């Protein structure tokens, strides 16, 4: 039998975990009116995690369709594909906003809900940003595309790194909701005119797409500076350590290693420029996995593992390149992509199953209760 991911100490800390967040973005107060109305239209029998998962799957599906039409980020897709992405993102945003309200409404709040929500957000970030970049046709400048993807992944990781240090998730005046509306606007404009962002700016002589890039870099760099400063100030643990009483700087190792490998491999071989979407999806699942591992570490007040099995995929690509192996890079990239996806899925399934077993709950069902006498994987009665 496979070793459990969560120890008894982590489960105990998870049971005691309380969600803590502060701050509100510009759009959120206005959207709250819609979200409060929307949750009242959802049947009480729907589990909050089901709502979250439906939104994620729809968002990923609509982006996947766009990727199929534009796998290199240089082509135009049908208008309906862009419109589908805009609608899919809006539905995801709405469902992601009401899953917590549904949990409180049905009195089914559990730590699993918070973990499930953040886990889906980490993957959604990858597909939302990739869909936005290929809508702008940033495939014409692969390094700009790579920079935008790495920056968005780092910002999302940084937000949870800061939460791991301070114990509180902090929102700014311009945050995720505003960013999602910005992406929806890009999708909508592309649906009206797929070549809209090819228009050359009269004074600067560059395509309009680069104005969008500059518009995203400024807020992102401000967020990095502000959040990085909070991390460097120290945490709530002993001697200003993290919630797990561990080093506040150590989490940089995981995201740093992924981004460094992602950039090195992309600049030293043609595999990235030949298959940009496949390459970025592969690394996106790796980034999502280590982010989820960070969220688990925060909620269970434990240290992050030194190494993560998700890093095996990037290391395979790096070693194949470093030793100038004869193994075809295109085939290896597909292997890495499949491995990264299954590693993400298996980790998520195992964590959810262990939490459900120890907390004696179901993940996608709130209408029935598990048998209180059933035993968990350690042979103890579930409480």
74-109 pLDDT, tens per residue?
989 999 999 999 999 999 999 999 999 999 999 888
Q: Provide φ and ψ at 228, rounded to 5°.
A: -60, -35
Confidence of residue 371 (pLDDT cuts 50, 70, 90): low
**Distance in angstroms (rounded) separating the CA atoms of residues 242 and 263:** 29
**Distance in angstroms (rounded) separating the CA atoms of residues 84 and 76:** 14
Which domains does the chain possess? Answer: 8-359 (1.20.120.1760)
The per-residue b/e assignment along 236-270, b for 16 or more CB within 10 angstroms, e otherwise, is: ebeeebbbbebbbeebeebbebbbebbeebbeebe
Q: What is the pTM of this model?
A: 0.92
**Distance in angstroms (rounded) separating the CA atoms of residues 146 and 276:** 9
Residue tagged active-site, from 17, 118, 140, 298: 118
Smallest CA-to-CA distance from 297 within 343, 239, 253 is with 253
**Distance in angstroms (rounded) separating the CA atoms of residues 297 and 240:** 17
**Would the pLDDT of 347 be above 90?**
yes
Angle ∠(32,35,36) on CA atoms, nearest 5: 85
pLDDT at position 376 is 46
17 is catalytic: no
Residue with tokens 């959810």: 352
């Amino acid at each position: 039998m496979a070793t459990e991911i969560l120890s008894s100490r982590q489960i105990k800390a998870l049971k005691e975990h309380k969600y803590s967040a502060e701050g509100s973005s510009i759009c959120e107060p206005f959207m709250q009116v819609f979200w409060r109305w929307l949750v009242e239209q959802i049947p009480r029998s729907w589990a909050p995690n089901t709502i979250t998962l439906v939104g994620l799957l729809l968002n990923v599906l609509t982006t996947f369709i766009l990727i199929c039409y534009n796998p290199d980020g240089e082509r135009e897709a049908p208008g309906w594909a862009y419109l589908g992405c805009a609608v899919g993102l809006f539905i995801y945003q709405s469902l992601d906003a009401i899953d917590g309200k549904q949990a409180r409404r049905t009195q089914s709040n559990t730590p699993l809900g918070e973990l499930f929500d953040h886990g889906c957000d980490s993957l959604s970030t990858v597909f939302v940003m990739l869909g936005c970049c290929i809508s702008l046709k940033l495939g014409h400048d692969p390094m700009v595309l790579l920079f935008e993807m790495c920056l968005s992944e780092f910002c999302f990781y940084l937000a949870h790194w800061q939460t791991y240090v301070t114990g509180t998730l902090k929102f700014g005046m311009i945050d995720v909701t505003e960013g999602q509306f910005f992406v929806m606007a890009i999708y909508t404009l592309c649906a009206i005119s797929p070549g809209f962002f090819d228009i050359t700016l009269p004074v600067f002589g560059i395509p309009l797409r680069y104005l969008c890039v500059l518009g995203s870099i400024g807020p992102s760099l401000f967020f990095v500076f502000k959040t990085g400063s909070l991390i460097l100030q120290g945490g709530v643990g002993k001697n200003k350590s993290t919630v797990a009483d561990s080093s506040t700087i150590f989490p940089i190792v995981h995201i740093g290693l992924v981004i460094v490998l992602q950039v090195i491999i992309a600049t030293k071989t043609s595999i990235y420029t030949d298959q940009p979407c496949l390459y970025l999806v592969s690394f996106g699942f790796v980034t999502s996995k280590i982010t989820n591992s960070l969220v688990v570490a925060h909620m269970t007040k434990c240290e992050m593992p030194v190494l993560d099995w998700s890093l095996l995929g990037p290391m395979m690509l790096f070693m194949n390149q470093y030793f100038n192996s004869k193994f075809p890079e295109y085939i290896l990239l597909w292997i890495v992509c499949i491995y990264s996806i299954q590693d993400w899925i298996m980790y998520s399934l195992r964590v959810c199953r262990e939490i459900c077993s120890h907390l004696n709950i179901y993940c996608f069902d709130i209408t029935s209760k598990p048998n209180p006498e059933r035993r968990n994987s350690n042979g103890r009665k579930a409480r």
